[in-house]
Each structure stands twice: as structure tokens, then as C-alpha cells.
Amino acid sequence: MKAAVIVFPGSNCDRDCKVAIERSTGAHVDMVWHGDTELPDGLDLIVLPGGFSYGDYLRCGAMAALSPVMTEVRAAAERGVATVGICNGFQVLCEARMLPGALLRNERLKYVCKAVELEVTNAQTRFTAGYAGRRQVAMTVGNGEGNFFADEPTLDRLEGEGQVVFRYLDNPNGSARSIAGIVNAGGNVLGIMPHPDRAFEAELGSADGALLFQSALASA
């Protein structure tokens, strides 16, 4: 199995993602610089990591969405390659219009960093199948702009079509309908604000994030 982690200027969870994927799945992981115009062949998973790409200038993820490598990321996703955006990566996917909605400043205008409990609202996606019926998982958040927003028709569509995958049990940032993670209509692009890469071994407080990476690669 092969995975790639995209590295933007300001990424600070890129190596976390590499280690989490390697230890969780045994997959080979390539680090791909944002300025590259090609991706490695035969990828089964692409991850856009957390951090502060381009220092969060303009809007979180807006400049990273225009990076040369994103043309290839978008093309790979359109071919069905599993693609995950974590935290800042979720923001990038929204700015690149690969996912609907936007991530706004947290409701209380403060950075939030803590463990969170999540409901798995759709356990039949390629990213959640490994949870095997579990309805509650634990990860962590670390963001200042994690407040998911979309208009009401879009929210209704996301919920009605099973695209809401994770929901906060105790909404830490004001996200609409407590949404913590969504997938695209094709089911192969996931945006998630909590960090599975910080919850892949019991020693970190939870190993629930490992199941997300395992599910994504098993589906390939």
C-alpha cells in the first residue's frame, strides 16, 4: 500500500501523519512538496495535514488550495483515490472546492486544543468501515478556525445523503449541527477537523484515529 502526505509551507502535522499511517497500516508513505507538479504512482491514500499553511494569510487554506500539487490531488481524487484533509487540510479541501462549506473562526474566537468525543454518524464509508458499529470515538482538536459553516440547503443535503461522517458530542467551536467531518458525494474525499494522527496509539490517549487510516487503505 502507498500513501502520500502533502507538505505545505507552515504544515506542522505532516510528519505526525506519516508516522501515524506507517505505524497504523504498514503502508509506504511519501512526503510530497506543495510545489511539485506530480504525485507518486500507485497511491492508495493522499493526506493533507494540519498546520498553518502559508501562515494562514488571506484565509486558512486559501493559498495552499492554489499550490501546484493541488491540481494533481484534485485529479487523483476525481479518479477515486482516497483523500483526507485533517484540520488545515480540511480548510484546504473546502477552499479548493473539493468539499462544500467553509471553516470559520471558532464561535468564542479562541484557539481550542483538547480531547474530544465524536459520534460516528456514518459507519459505512471507506474511512469509517473499520469502526465496526462503534458509535463513539475519541480524538483531539487544535484549531482557531474549526467552525464548519454551510447554508441550510447544503447542510440538509449533507445530512440527507449521508455525507456527515463525524459529529461532535460536545461542540468545541460552534460548528453548524456539530459537524466534525464530511465526505464528498463520491465518498472518497474526507475533511475532518479533529486529528486522527494524534490519536493512533493508546499511549496518546486514544488509538481510534488508527482505524480511520486502516479503513481508508483497506478500501483500496
Confidence of residue 57 (pLDDT cuts 50, 70, 90): confident
Q: CA 48 to CA 167: how far, in whole Å?
A: 20
Above 90 in pLDDT, residue 58? no
The residue type found at 50 is G
Q: CA 168 to CA 172: how far, in whole Å?
A: 8
Residue spans per domain, the chain: 2-218
**Which CATH architecture is the domain 2-218 placed in?**
3-Layer(aba) Sandwich (3.40)
The DSSP string of 159-178 is HHTT-EEEEESS-SS--GGG
Quick check: helix, strand or coil at residue 9? Answer: coil
pLDDT > 70 fraction of the chain, expressed in percent and rounded: 100
Let me know: does 190 contact 181? Beta carbons within 8 Å.
Answer: yes
Phi, psi of 173, deg, nearest 5: -135, 5
How confident is the model over 76-110, as pLDDT tens digits?
A: 999 999 999 999 999 999 999 999 999 999 999 99
Please state the pTM of the whole predicted model.
0.96
> Which residues are part of the catalytic machinery?
87, 195
How confident is the model over 117-158, as pLDDT tens digits?
A: 999 999 999 999 999 888 999 999 999 999 999 999 999 999
